[in-house]
Amino acid sequence: MSTLTGSSTAHVLVAFAAMGGWAVFANRMHAMPAPLLAGLVQGVVSGTITYFLKRTVEALSARFDGIGRLVLPPAIAFATSLVVLVTLHGLTGTPEILRTIALPLSISTGYAALYSHALWRRERT
Tell me, what DSSP letter sits at residue 39?
H
Q: Is the pLDDT of residue 43 over 70?
A: yes
Give the pLDDT score at 21: 98
Give the pLDDT score at 1: 52
> Predicted confidence band at 125 (pLDDT cuts at 50, 70, 90)?
confident
**CB–CB of 60/4 below 8 Å?**
no
Give the pLDDT score at 6: 57
d(CA 113, CA 17): 23
Give the pLDDT score at 123: 83
d(CA 99, CA 85): 12
Strand, helix or coil for residue 20: helix
**What residues contact 36, with CB distance under 8 A and at least 6 apart?**
24
> Predicted confidence band at 124 (pLDDT cuts at 50, 70, 90)?
confident
- Among 5-19, 34-48, 80-94, 109-123, where is mean pLDDT lowest? 5-19
Q: Is the pLDDT of residue 5 over 60?
A: no
CB atoms < 10 A from the CB of 1, how many? 5
Give the pLDDT score at 3: 58
Q: Is the pLDDT of residue 2 over 60?
A: no
